[in-house]
Amino acid sequence: MAERSKTDVLTTAGGSRPVASDVPAEMDARKSSRPRVIATEEAFATAEYLDTFLKVASNSPHEGIRYAAMHMTRPDVQKPLTDIEARLADMDAHGVDMHLLSLTSPGVQVFNADLATELAARCNDELVASIRQYPKRLCGLAAVAPQDAKRAAVEIERAIGHLGLNGIIINSHTNGEFLDDAKFFPIFEAAVKHRAPIYIHPTFPPPEMIKPFERYGMHGAIWGFAAECGLHAVRLVLGGVFDRFPDLQIVLGHMGEGLPYWLFRLDNMYVKTITHKNQPPGVVRLNRLPSEYIRSNFHLTTSGMFWNDVLEFAIKTMGIDRVIFAIDYPYETSKMATEFINNAPLSPADKALVLSRNAQKLFNIVDDNSYTTVAES
């Protein structure tokens, strides 16, 4: 089967069912004078996923999974995760043109390999159905199950190559295993083949790591997520993954999970380590310095980190073309996120890059400025 472009897939989908008009006709005729606003870490869930996850969580000994289930059952979270119309209304109210949707954390990685693989595919199918209904407002990342890397690669082939999704979502470690392990390389091979970026979203630290984080509620977004996901990213770099896959692109939320702040020390201590006569076991000699891989193979989003000082530093260290707007909906509010980015001290050209241009390029999102939102009408 020949691969179709994302544009072809998204405009011819749905069989005999007509594609719904996702923007009122009177709005479609007008041109927006502002940059398009694309938010890129926006969670969704299917009813099947929520039901399956909550059943697993009810019997789980893992504090993090029970904590996630508690949040998903909150009305202010559950409805936005599953209700597309509520999502669109929120987007319109805050001037957000498009959401890049991804299956909410912890995704399918808490299930056995067979269930996870099958459920990921069904979630991807439902995601594509929503995108086909609202192609100017929604795009998406494909869920995969790293528990079976070969089948995950097959799903990438289907979801990116045939369904036209825009990248891959992986919720960091899988049962305490990280993607630098060679058994996960089929996922990277498929991602590189399809030029599909991988968004590594945080999850709770694995059992071997979580104990010190459980006190004071530190195992979630307040600290444990960044510690766990930052660890994952550094393992990819120091494990030599990007020497093997130089074209692989990774996306991190929350302004990079602390990595921009750490670039000097990563390089400094790496050089000292590889030149020391007594090297620790497992050290990999890289082709470049760690910071060079982070600057060439990573992109950062603003999800949940609405602070001008950090935005300025991220742009300074990573470059304006590697910083992308995100909200972290519905776990963060669109109001806070959009007020932050609208008032950020950026030039109009740089703001357009952060708000949409960088996302369009990285995630292969069709450029479309042919409408305004309800908030502007």
DSSP 179: T
Would you say 163 and 126 are in contact if contact means Cβ atoms under 8 Å apart?
no
328 is catalytic: yes
- Name residue 298's beta-bridge partners: 250
Buried b (16+ CB within 10 A) or exposed e, 14-23: eeeeeeeeeb
Q: What is the 3-state secondary structure (H, E, C) of 135-147?
A: CCCEEECEECCHH
Q: What is the 3-state secondary structure (H, E, C) of 245-258?
A: CCCCCEEECHHHCC
Q: How far is CA 317 from the centre of its chain?
A: 21
Cα–Cα distance measured from residue 121 to residue 159, given in angstroms and rounded to the nearest whole number? 8
Q: Of 345, 101, 62, 77, which is closest to residue 220 (Cα–Cα)?
A: 62
Q: Of 127, 129, 120, which is closest to residue 171 (Cα–Cα)?
A: 120
DSSP assignment of 98-122, as one string?
EEEEEEPTTTTTTS-HHHHHHHHHH
Annotated catalytic residue, options 90, 247, 328, 368: 328
Amino acid identity for residue 159 in this structure: A
Q: What is the 3-state secondary structure (H, E, C) of 17-71?
A: CCCCCCCCHHHHCCCCCCCCCEEEEEEECCHHHHHHHHHHHHCCCCHHHHHHHHH
Rounded to 10°, the helix 63-72/207-214 angle is: 70
Cα atoms found within 13 Å of the Cα of residue 313, Cβ hemisphere only:
14
Would you say 141 and 101 are in contact if contact means Cβ atoms under 8 Å apart?
yes
Catalytic site positions: 328
